[in-house]
Amino acid sequence: MGLGLFKISKSTYDNIVEQISTPLPNPNPENFKIIFHHKHRGYLIVKVNYPDCKNYEGNKIMVYNNVTLSALKKQKSIDPHFSNNDTMYSPIARFEPTDRGLAMALIFVRAWDNERLIY
């Protein structure tokens, strides 16, 4: 950033304009496809695609505790949001739907499984 003759140069960050945009649609919990799953003892990691959702191409990575893949599928609805509803399975954690996020989910379940070592 410098001073030019009769004008001051500015960072491109100084020109950020708030954009009003249409909010992205929430995932339809009844329209999904499980594209990856991994079981680690009592934990289930799933990567789910919601075709109606636009961010991250509709992909979500979630971690569940004490649920099997077949039980999750039988639910016929997978809401990626956290919930206190006792009749539906809810994730205990979510990660960005990337290779890095998947690696973080694996680290999380392994660490949580050994929680006695964390405290």
Q: What is the pLDDT of residues 54-64, one digit of tens each?
A: 888 999 999 99
Is residue 92 domain-resident?
yes
Alpha carbons within 13 angstroms on the beta-carbon side of residue 43 total 18
Is residue 40 domain-resident?
yes
Is residue 18 domain-resident?
no
Is residue 80 domain-resident?
yes
Cα separation, 86 vs 64, in Å, equals: 14
Cα separation, 91 vs 30, in Å, equals: 16
In the structure encoding, which two tokens stand for residue 84, read together?
């206190």
Is residue 4 domain-resident?
no
pTM of the model: 0.77
Q: For 10-51, write each residue's pLDDT tens digit.
A: 444 444 454 445 667 789 999 999 999 999 989 999 999 999
Is residue 49 domain-resident?
yes
Is residue 13 domain-resident?
no
Domain residues for the domain of 83 are 24-118
Is residue 17 domain-resident?
no
Cα separation, 74 vs 55, in Å, equals: 26
Q: How many domains does the chain have?
A: 1
